Chain A
Amino acid sequence: METADLKTLRETLTSLADDELILGHRDSEWCGHAPILEEDIAFANLALDEIGHANLWLALLARLEDADPQSFADRLSFWREAADFRCAQMLELPRGDWAFSILRHYLFDAAEIERLAALSQYSYTPLAEAAAKIQTEELYHLRHTRLWVRRLGLGTSESHQRLQAALNQLWPYTSQLFELTNKPGGPVLGVDFRQARLAWEAQVLPFLAECELSLPQGQPLALDRQQHSPHLAVLLAEMQSVARLDPQAEW
């Protein structure tokens, strides 16, 4: 593989892993706080799934770096500073209210399925295989969050209002979900994420309209995966605190 391609592949894997890890952590914050018991269980499961997927991407990255597969994922998750993470900013925002967390998850799940479909055609086989594997599991996430978006959108005036407020806040962030490296626009390693984005829009836009939501006015935010909101450092301070208390601990 060419050096430039290898660099892009590393960046792509880091973005994929960090998206899953950070959203997984936000999911875990609902454990013990979700509005009903079933959702407490569902979000704990979603967290476990997403963090498991992050682990899978990091295992591929470890292989590329020729790093020790046992310790690599922990090292990257617990010992990097905020500036070295490559997650999309939408995923690091605080969990907000239930409508916000549900809508964020739905928008991400729908985007992730299209991203994975594109990546499963990719020429680096280990990545394509992992993408195909994760894709089947994500169907359950999408099915669940879709149900909730409809329920809230067509529910009471308060649930609708909260969901619309969430959409107004989240929508400008969404284009970053299809920019996994700092080479926005064109194909990345032969994978054209613009097609994935069009497929995502074709699915998401009519569904949002069906749930009586309207897209906010205004331009999408121009975001860079090397830049983060202040929320990420706060999240990491909590997520990394236990590992950093005792660097020598074994678990």
Chain B
Amino acid sequence: MKQNPPLSNEAIWQLLAEIKDPEIPAVSLLEMGMIRQVGLAAGKVIVVLSPTFAGCPALQVMQAEIEQRLRQAGASAIELRLSFAPPWSTDWITPQGRQKLRDFGLAPPPIHAGRLHDALQQPAICPYCGSTHTEVKNDFGPTLCRAICYCHNCQQPFEQFKPL
């Protein structure tokens, strides 16, 4: 039987780049800034994952998919660690990730460097026309991470990824 070659660090990152966020399939876990660390120790693949919202029901789906993909690629021992420190921030979403969110119709959150109160005061930028003449209609939307907004310029409702 042909043995799989041992996975390299690079191969693991590449594999993780293909796993999408199940609630926002336009972006990968990597683009969301959720994968904090990848390592190999004594034949074991270690992945450190920072959950977005603590109550996010997609987390288990993501964990299962990471495990499954790594196994398919030949990893026999996998350790998936959740990390809360520092807590995941929307500042960690990569520039490519932010562009993909926008293309998906989801306004990316402002970069806030930990000043969440300030971020909450800033109007969302409409992903369709780029206007800031917008208003939050509901801080809660179809998933924990999205708020419902309205653009007064192009008169479109849209969603924003909430700053965290």
A57: nearest residue on chain B (CB-CB)? B54
> CB distance B140 to A137 under 8 Å?
no
Residues of B within 8 A of A140 (CB): 139-140, 162
Q: Does B43 interact with chain A (Cβ within 8 Å)? A: no
A140, B148: Cα distance in complex, Å: 13
B144: which of A45, A55, A129, A130 is its contact (CB, 8 Å)?
A45
Q: Does A56 interact with chain B (Cβ within 8 Å)? A: yes
> CB distance B54 to A133 under 8 Å?
yes
A-B contact pairs, 22 of them (CB 8 A): A38-B148, A41-B138, A41-B140, A41-B141, A42-B139, A44-B140, A45-B144, A48-B144, A49-B53, A49-B54, A52-B55, A52-B56, A55-B54, A130-B54, A132-B85, A133-B84, A136-B87, A136-B116, A137-B53, A137-B164, A140-B162, A144-B139
A130, B138: Cα distance in complex, Å: 26
Q: Does B130 interact with chain A (Cβ within 8 Å)? A: no
Residues of B within 8 A of A52 (CB): 53-57, 144
A19-47 interface bits toward B, Cβ cutoff 8 Å, 1 = contact, 0 = none: 00000000000000000001001101110
B interface residues, Cβ below 8 angstroms from A? 53-57, 84-88, 116-117, 120, 137-142, 144, 148, 162, 164
Min C-beta distance of A209 to chain B, whole Å = 23
A71-100 interface bits toward B, Cβ cutoff 8 Å, 1 = contact, 0 = none: 000000000000000000000000000000
Interface size class of A (residues with CB under 8 A): 20 to 34
Residues of B within 8 A of A133 (CB): 54, 84-85, 87-88
Interface positions, chain A 95-148, Cβ under 8 Å from B, are 125, 129-130, 132-134, 136-137, 139-140, 143-144
- 4 A-B pairs with least C-beta separation: A52-B55, A45-B140, A42-B140, A129-B85
A137, B139: Cα distance in complex, Å: 12
Residues of A within 8 A of B137 (CB): 38
Residues of B within 8 A of A129 (CB): 84-85, 87
A49, B88: Cα distance in complex, Å: 16
Q: Can you name 12 extra interface pairs (CB under 8 A) apart from A132-B85, A132-B86, A137-B55?
A: A41-B140, A42-B139, A45-B141, A48-B144, A49-B144, A52-B57, A56-B54, A129-B84, A130-B84, A134-B54, A136-B164, A137-B164
> CB distance B54 to A137 under 8 Å?
yes
B82: nearest residue on chain A (CB-CB)? A59
A125, B120: Cα distance in complex, Å: 29
A144: nearest residue on chain B (CB-CB)? B139
A46, B116: Cα distance in complex, Å: 19
Residues of A within 8 A of B116 (CB): 136, 139
Residues of B within 8 A of A46 (CB): 140
Q: Does A53 interact with chain B (Cβ within 8 Å)? A: yes
Residues of A within 8 A of B140 (CB): 38, 41-42, 44-46, 140, 144
Q: Does A177 interact with chain B (Cβ within 8 Å)? A: no
Min C-beta distance of A122 to chain B, whole Å = 13
A129, B148: Cα distance in complex, Å: 29
Interface positions, chain A 205-241, Cβ under 8 Å from B, are none
> CB distance B85 to A55 under 8 Å?
no
Min C-beta distance of A58 to chain B, whole Å = 12
Q: Does A18 interact with chain B (Cβ within 8 Å)? A: no
Q: Does A16 interact with chain B (Cβ within 8 Å)? A: no
> CB distance B54 to A42 under 8 Å?
no
A125, B86: Cα distance in complex, Å: 12
> CB distance B57 to A48 under 8 Å?
yes
A181, B55: Cα distance in complex, Å: 25
Q: Does A50 interact with chain B (Cβ within 8 Å)? A: yes
Min C-beta distance of B27 to chain A, whole Å = 20
Min C-beta distance of B69 to chain A, whole Å = 20
Q: Does A9 interact with chain B (Cβ within 8 Å)? A: no
Residues of B within 8 A of A149 (CB): none
B117: nearest residue on chain A (CB-CB)? A139
